[in-house]
Amino acid sequence: MSVRIYTILLITVSMIMSCNQPENIIEKELSDNWSFKQTSKENWLPAEVPGCVHTDLLANGEIEDPFYRLNEHDLQWIDKVDWEYKTTFNAGPSIIEKGKIELHFKGLDTYAEVFLNDEKILSADNMFREWTVDCKELLIPGNNTLRILFRSPVQVGLEKHDALDYTFPDPPNDLAEIGQVEGNKRISIFSRKAQYHFGWDWGPRFVTNGVWKPIILRAFDKAIIRNVQVEQMELTDESADLLAHLEIESLSETTVNAICLIDGVESFSRKTELEEGLNKVVLPLEIQDPEKWWPNGLGDQHMYNLTFQIHEENNTISECQERIGLRTIEIVQEPDSAGTSFYFKVNGHPVFMKGANYIPQDAFVTRVTPGKYDYIIQSAVDANMNMLRVWGGGIYEYDIFYDLCDEKGILVWQDFMFACAMYPGDDHFLENVRQEAVDNIKRLRNHPCIALWCGNNECLSAWYNWGWKDAVEERQGKEVADLIWKAYDDNYHKILPLAVKENDQRFYWASSPSARTGIPENWVEGDVHYWGVWWGKEPFSYYRTQVPRFMSEYGFQSFPEMSTINKFTIEEDHDIYSDVMKSHQRSSIGNETIELYMLWDYKKPKDFPMQLYVGQLTQAEGIKIAMEGHRKAMPYCMGSLYWQIDDCWPVASWSSIDYFGKWKAQQYYAVKAFQDILVSPELNDETIDVYVVSDRLDPVEGKLKMDLVQFDGNIHWQKEMNVNIKANTSQLVFSTDKDKLNGNYNENECLLSTKLIIDDKEYSANILYFLPPKDLELPDPNLVYDIQEEGDTYIIQISSDVLAKNIYLSTGDIEGIISDNYYDLLPGEKKTITFKPEGKISAEELKDNMKIISLVDSY
Ligand code: BMA
């Protein structure tokens, strides 16, 4: 595993897309001198822009940490009142004299009235849109004031709700309880704002207000490149044919030279007549012997830096940079004997998508640092993932997210921001959505990481499969149901696909999950969200049989580890049914479901910390069955995205990495289950079957080593065989009658170890147990460890005389990264792991804080 760095990185990527403007253009971010106040009050306090009301109140000591204990409950007043932000900024002669001056608001959350020198210049009502306002007339030399009035999204939502003579379907129970409703009114759907702000079954309810992206003052003469789309016309091994579409705004009729440099070398230039206003200029580009961009695991992520310039009489008057990657991507849906395929073909090869769903990393999005983005995406890479799904209840992520996915080879399944609801369909709402879609498609379309656009999350399923259509028809009549459906049809089947078609080349999928446009999910086509495990209380083994063509959601909850719990609780809260822990558990069936599954397989944990540990094992072992099961079922199934990789606050949830970046057991398990070549043994009623799955594009020779090992080290049976590991295939390489192995062993004290050796090295290893852990006769291991310091890392060697199941090393209050955890150590085996502390610590300190346990210590 490569090293994950959890520090604030000086990441330059966010600047990569930006325009390094020549003298003709002045750009100034208005991030200074901001203050804010509640509209009805008088006291102005300093504010951060970008930021939000909640984080500004916190920074000023006006509120306590919103995530601590039950603080969230006391902070619900914040979203019911209006807020005001103001700043002054200086406009010197160099700005004032320019031909055009504008204010560019990259993101206002959400109902914002903007005043420049007391004149209203903008009424914004969509968090996801960008707004550009001409302000030359109003700007004065010297100091100018900018004031933004934010109306309470809750009050606006209520007004919109009450103005209708019909109602939209109620939210699912969990979301209703959390706060998607005011009284019994579902208000979140009326606002084009991150839906999880209103609370989710893993998230707190903080309906924020604020300037969440920069405000830019821009002044220019002559002309400016507004936008570039790099369209890939053809890609072969010999050449890439591209068309660059430039949108250039010119202040007058003029002749310019439009130039493109590829990696600093001028590759095309064209004399172009510009008219006053917006001009479209197309530059044909060619790259010889192109290096392709590959998803993680299949090759490098080669990127080309394209610089676009317009020159007037040899002076550069505008410049823009885009970083592109060359790859082809298709979603193949072809009828076959079972139904219709659904897989991604990248650079001509079918690629199994391994990954997870991604939610915003904080309830307050502006405080997610570049380091945190890097950490999560690197964690995805380290877990051998090649796809993340940006789920529709959050935000269209900041540029840095996509820059990092480009660099690290993580494809993005990009939802439009609609989730688990039916939405309005009036003209204003739809036009607002159309603009939002265009803004975001234009912002993101040059990223090679974007794999597809998807209309919504679970809105179609909700209408047909969660009883919403029937309930509306029954209570409000068919006419209302038709009206609500028309809104759905207009939005996801007309407005959004058209916006994609007109502005991008990529594939559009109307809803996740679905079989086809407007047709709810099924198991033989399209994508599926399978929640039979968890919501349906079906056993984990169902993951092996409930296999669709593409699994875009499945998951199981766990609690975060003790060091995370300690950050938001005090000792008296350390019971999963305490008020504090219950408040940091948003699924109505959460605790009881974790306990139910846990006790199916494990002995009752003896105390609270052990409950957290065993809970994480329950989740990891369950999801392992799914990850491996989906891969074994390739090419029928070609994708496995679990729900969810991250958290937005400290909480019990389906995440594999907690809010503070701690890898849960599941994340460590994903590293192994998603390895490009996997050995996976399976216990069936009569047989033991061993599969080898490879995602590689070339075959390789390997050796399979199987040992039937008694927990005390005694070996009952051994076999070694050569395996020709075929490219991009799942193969059953060994199968035996269960009883034939060796009649002489007890199932409760033996395991089958399977190891795949490639190039004389152990490449993938997996263990099969014959019984659930609670029925195993686990010996009490004598764990021996040794710590060596090597630079800023500690090398820890752990060995055991007998089987040590699920070794868990914790470093208490010492923060840092542990390379592997929660693994089983075979009798006599030695395992080397690394610990990289966040700061400097001595070996003694580490030893004092370090604890190593295994499953026998949990009961
Ligand atoms: C899925 C998601 C989320 C939800 C999760 C867990 O359906 O789309 O809405 O948080 O399940 O319930």
458 CB less than 6 Å from ligand 1?
A: yes
Residues in the chain: 859
Ligand 1 centroid – CA 225 distance (Å):
41
The pLDDT value recorded for residue 11 is 37
The pLDDT value recorded for residue 180 is 62
User: Residue whose CA is closest, atom 10 of ligand 1?
Assistant: 201
The pLDDT value recorded for residue 467 is 94
Ligand 1 centroid – CA 836 distance (Å):
34
The pLDDT value recorded for residue 629 is 98
- Span 689-703, mean pLDDT? 98
Q: Are 601 and 621 in contact (CB under 8 A)?
A: yes
Residue 392 alpha carbon, nearest atom of ligand 1: 8
Q: Are 193 and 360 in contact (CB under 8 A)?
A: no
Residue 457 alpha carbon, nearest atom of ligand 1: 8
User: Residue whose CA is closest, atom 6 of ligand 1?
Assistant: 201
pLDDT > 90: percent of the chain:
94
Residue 7: band (very low, low, confident or very high) from pLDDT cuts 50, 70, 90: very low
- Span 310-314, mean pLDDT? 92
Q: Which CATH superfamily includes the segment(s) 25-216?
A: Galactose-binding domain-like (2.60.120.260)
Residue 740's contacts (CB-CB under 8 Å, 6 or more residues apart) are: none
- Span 158-162, mean pLDDT? 95
pLDDT tens readout for residues 497-519: 999 999 998 999 999 999 999 99
Per-domain residue ranges of the chain: 2-19+222-325, 25-216, 328-415+530-673, 677-775, 784-858
CATH architecture for segment(s) 784-858: Sandwich (2.60)
Confidence check: pLDDT of 173 > 90: no
- Fold: same for 2-19+222-325 and 677-775: yes
Measured CA to CA, the distance from residue 164 to residue 147 in angstroms comes to: 32
* Backbone dihedral angles phi then psi of residue 462, each to the nearest 5 degrees: -60, -45
Confidence check: pLDDT of 19 > 60: no
Ligand 1 centroid – CA 286 distance (Å):
44
Residue spans of beta strands (DSSP E) within 654-743: 677-683, 687-694, 700-710, 715-725, 729-737
The pLDDT value recorded for residue 18 is 46
Measured CA to CA, the distance from residue 221 to residue 95 in angstroms comes to: 10
Residue 833 CA neighbour count, 13 Å, CB half: 21
Identify which of 364, 67, 92, 324 has the alpha carbon closest to the alpha carbon of residue 212. 364
- Span 24-50, mean pLDDT? 97
* Backbone dihedral angles phi then psi of residue 94, each to the nearest 5 degrees: -60, -30
Phi/psi-derived region of residue 213, left when phi > 0, alpha when psi is between -120 and 50, beta in every other case:
beta
Q: Which CATH superfamily includes the segment(s) 2-19+222-325?
A: Immunoglobulins (2.60.40.10)
- Span 124-133, mean pLDDT? 98
Residue 742: band (very low, low, confident or very high) from pLDDT cuts 50, 70, 90: low
CA distances 576 to 162, 503, 558, 814, Å, are: 39, 49, 11, 24
- Span 171-198, mean pLDDT? 82
pLDDT > 70: percent of the chain:
96
The CA R_g of the chain, rounded to the nearest whole Å, is 28
457 CB less than 6 Å from ligand 1?
A: yes
554 CB less than 6 Å from ligand 1?
A: no
pTM comes to 0.96
Residue carrying structure tokens 């640092």 = 369
Q: Are 404 and 377 in contact (CB under 8 A)?
A: yes
Confidence check: pLDDT of 491 > 60: yes
CATH architecture for segment(s) 677-775: Sandwich (2.60)
Residue 847's contacts (CB-CB under 8 Å, 6 or more residues apart) are: 787
Q: Are 826 and 847 in contact (CB under 8 A)?
A: no
Confidence check: pLDDT of 15 > 60: no
Residue-wise burial string across 768-780, b where 16 or more C-beta atoms lie within 10 A, e elsewhere: bbbbebeebebbe
Ligand 1 centroid – CA 531 distance (Å):
9
State the average pLDDT for the chain: 95
Residue 555 alpha carbon, nearest atom of ligand 1: 6
Confidence check: pLDDT of 781 > 90: yes
The pLDDT value recorded for residue 16 is 37
User: Residue whose CA is closest, atom 4 of ligand 1?
Assistant: 201
Q: Are 405 and 399 in contact (CB under 8 A)?
A: no
Supply the angle between the helices 478-490 and 468-476 in degrees, to the nearest 10. Answer: 140
Residue 239's contacts (CB-CB under 8 Å, 6 or more residues apart) are: 286, 287, 288, 289, 290
Ligand 1, from 197, 205, 458, 558: best to mutate by most atoms within 8 Å of Cβ?
A: 458
Helix, strand and coil in the chain, % to nearest 5: 25, 35, 40
553 CB less than 6 Å from ligand 1?
A: yes
201 CB less than 6 Å from ligand 1?
A: yes
Q: What is the CATH number of domain 328-415+530-673?
A: 3.20.20.80
Coil, strand or helix: which one is 429?
Answer: helix
Ligand 1, from 557, 643, 649: best to mutate by most atoms within 8 Å of Cβ?
A: 643
Ligand 1, from 415, 553, 651: best to mutate by most atoms within 8 Å of Cβ?
A: 553
Residue spans of beta strands (DSSP E) within 156-294: 181-182, 185-186, 198-200, 203-205, 210-211, 215-220, 223-235, 239-250, 254-262, 265-274, 277-288
The pLDDT value recorded for residue 21 is 74
Ligand 1 centroid – CA 560 distance (Å):
18
Residue carrying structure tokens 């590689």 = 696
